[in-house]
Amino acid sequence: MLPGNPAWQGLSNDHALKFGDFAEWSSFLLNPPRDSHESDTFVLVVFLQDVISFESISALMKGNASPQDLDDLLAPLLMAIEHFDSHSSNRLIVAWSNAYSPGAIEYARRIPAWELIAFRMEARLREWQTHSRNLFLLPLDRFLAEAGRADCFDSRNYYAAHCRLSQRGLAVLAKQIAELTKRFFSAPKKVLVLDCDNTLWGGVLGEDGVAGIRLGQDGAGAAYADFQRVVRDLGQRGALLAIISKNDESIVWQAFEEHPSMVIRRSDVIGFRINWKDKSDNLAELADELGVALDSFVFWDDNPLERESVRARLPEVTVAEIPREVWHWPGWLASSNLFTSFENTTEDFRRAEMYRSRSLFRSESAQCRSESDFLKSIQLQPTAVPVSDALVSRAAQLAMKTNQFNLRTRRYDEAEIRQITHEENTVSFLVHLKDKFGDHGNVGLVIARRTRNHKVAFLDTFLLSCRVLGRHLEAWMLDQCIQRLGMEQVSILLAEFAPTERNHVAAKFLSEHGFISDTQWTPDWQNMLEPLSNRHEGNFFALDLTSAAVPYLDIYAR
């Protein structure tokens, strides 16, 4: 793999890379390292020709290869991978390639032997993957083909240094590994903001009229329609679609309703600013309206000046550096990874609906005189839900993505969530909420850990999705936590507020719900709450559970 090659530069900027010797692959997989850090990721790069001999393939082709024959050839590799995955809590990326490229005649009447092997290997790994959380597959040939297979392999490198790939091939491998590792540590984007003219359709609506825009039939028009199809598909898989366009609003909606080739429907659009104002101002307003931070926004606009302006004024926003020609857009967006998660949770599919109900909640509550009466009228039905295996991915998603109402912003991935919630001294639950505006799904996560002094627990994680803020659900969550800790004989709940740029909304939660700041602790408490000696004064709080009275609970009394 040529460690030190410039192809690895990008990946090594973000990660510490270590390379193993290929000859040791099986002993490595059969003896997973014990000293690895939980967040370490291992990558196995396999060229089938390095693990299966040409002789055994020749023998195989003399008869009719049965799946069992193929499995026998693959057994050493698959068993080692499965062993590693069962005995290690680290992520394993398996990248594989078939380095042998047969000619057309070999394909014409049968599947070439090496491809049979590759198909079988992928099928077996996919099957294993359905029960595995940490195995990630990288079918390298698909990506090498895209970059040009002939340029990606270099037999000279193989015979001179046992590396089958060229620099270009290594760069492709490194880039795809980087795409995966990036998603391990950061959540996908949430909102796709689109322009209209020369973005959703060709031409200028104000000048060409609804009938005159290019959309649907002809060459470029068909490309715009296909782009809309990709956009709508992203919307249905959890991306929120928004429009920011310098246009007259009425004519834009007219195009949505009347143009026969519009793919995106008005109901797909979760927020919009169609006016003549500066696009950055519109973006900031939209972020506020949706309660989504700007760094979860992707801005898509055909006009380079608008892109430059947004990039300069709102550096948090991802400005899509889109291909100049529209016919490249559908493919570009579909393969961009911007909005893609490894797994789609139920919440992803229902996200648009949830944000729509959030807007409705905001407009109705603005009309109501008393907050408490309003909240009582909307039939809030929270439930505390155990973090079961099926819900680990949602819990991790919340821990990774929640920025605003989050006391400590501890980012836990699935493996960490699973470990923490299984610990004996931990009280943890997800919070599910339904109300008049709909089923919001699992929106909160609480993790409290008892310290060695069993009377004291520490609020490790306390977070709530911003789309259900304004309902005092955090008070109900705290009460649930207190009840559960009470059953464990805990009498003091410690908490920390770790300020970030984004969690101001949670800053006063602790002091407003009966917690006492460590600046006001009595000497008794000071003694009992050691050994928190390296805490930051002013950010630590404690609640006496024997006398705690949580406010706002009447809203939830049924």
CB nearer to another protein: give 16 or 390: 16
Stretch that binds another protein, among 151-159, 210-218, 322-330, 337-345 (CB under 8 A): 151-159
Residue 10 Cβ, how far from another protein at the closest point, in Å? 15
**Cβ-based nearer residue to another protein, 149 or 376:** 149
148 counts as binding another protein under rule CB under 8 A: no
Contact residue for another protein among 21, 64, 130, 159 (CB under 8 A): 159
Kindly state the smallest distance separating residue 3's Cβ from another protein, in Å.
Answer: 7
Rounded CA-CA distance 355/458 in Å is 32
Q: Between 89 and 157, name the residue whose CB sits nearer to another protein.
A: 157
* CA–CA separation, 355 and 305 (whole Å): 30
Q: Which is nearer to another protein, 163 or 319 (by Cβ)?
A: 163
Question: Interface with another protein includes 160 (CB under 8 A)?
Answer: yes
Q: How far is the CB of 6 from another protein (least distance, A)?
A: 7
Closest CA to 288 of 359, 228, 347: 359
- Contact range with another protein by CB under 8 A, out of 72-80, 152-160, 387-395, 488-496: 152-160
Beta bridge pairs of residue 405: 464
Lookup: tokens for 463: 């977070």
- 551 is a site residue for another protein (CB under 8 A): no
Beta bridge partners of 97: 47
Pick the stretch among 158-166, 183-191, 272-280, 479-487 that binds another protein (CB under 8 A).
158-166
Residue 161 CB, nearest approach to another protein (Å)? 5
Q: Go through 251-264 and write b for each residue having 16 or more CB atoms within 10 A of its CB, e for each that does not.
A: ebeebbeebeebbb
Using CB under 8 A as the binding rule, whether residue 11 contacts another protein is answered as no
Query: Which CB atom, from 2 or from 17, has the smaller least distance to another protein?
Result: 2
CA distance 66 to 85: 27
78 binds another protein (CB under 8 A): no
Would you say 151 or 554 has its CB closer to another protein?
151
Q: What own/partner pairs with CB < 8 Å and gap ≥ 24 does 201-210 have? A: 201/255, 201/259, 202/326, 205/247, 205/251, 205/252, 205/255, 206/247, 206/248, 206/251, 210/251, 210/254, 210/255, 210/258, 210/259
Residue 131 vs 156, nearer CB to another protein: 156
Q: What is the H or E stretch that residue 429 is in?
A: strand 426-435
Q: Is the dihedral of CA 32, 33, 36, 42 positive or negative?
A: negative
Residues in 162-181 that interact with another protein by CB under 8 A: 167
Separation of alpha carbons 183 and 354, rounded Å: 24
Task: CB nearer to another protein: give 4 or 33.
Answer: 4
The least distance separating another protein from the CB of residue 82, rounded to whole angstroms, comes to 32
Q: Is 366 in the site for another protein (CB under 8 A)?
A: no
Contacting residues for 255 by C-beta, under 8 A, at least 6 apart: 196, 201, 205, 210, 213, 262
- 223 neighbors 175 (Cβ within 8 angstroms): no
| 276 touching another protein, by CB under 8 A | no
**Cα dist from 303 to 197, 245, 287, 524, whole Å:** 10, 11, 21, 64
Q: Does 323 bind another protein (CB under 8 A)?
A: no
Q: Which is nearer to another protein, 2 or 415 (CB)?
A: 2
Interface stretch with another protein, choices 133-141, 159-167, 227-235, 277-285 (CB under 8 A): 159-167
Q: Give 21 or 35: the residue with its C-beta nearer to another protein.
A: 21
Q: Are 470 and 365 in contact (CB under 8 A)?
A: yes
Does 161 contact another protein by CB under 8 A? yes
Structure tokens given for 269: 């659009």
Q: Is 331 in the site for another protein (CB under 8 A)?
A: no
Q: How far is the CB of 54 from another protein (least distance, A)?
A: 20
Residue 17 Cβ vs another protein, minimum distance, rounded to whole Å:
14
Amino acid at 33: P
540-544 and 456-464 strand pairing: unpaired
Assess whether the previous peptide bond of 76 is cis (omega < 30° from 0): no
Q: Which of 87, 126, 142, 156 binds another protein (CB under 8 A)?
A: 156
**Total site size for another protein, rule CB under 8 A:** 11
Q: How far apart are the first and last CA of the chain?
A: 64
Does residue 6 belong to the site contacting another protein (CB under 8 A)? yes
- For the four alpha carbons of 122, 128, 133 and 134, in that order, the dihedral sign comes to negative
Question: How near is the Cβ of 5 to another protein at its closest, in Å?
Answer: 5
User: Residue 49 interacts with another protein (CB under 8 A)?
Assistant: no
- The Cα 405–Cα 389 span in angstroms is 25
Contact status: 89 vs another protein (CB under 8 A): no
List the interface residues with another protein, window 287-316 (CB under 8 A).
Answer: none
Q: Which residues bind another protein (CB under 8 A)?
A: 2-6, 156-157, 159-161, 167
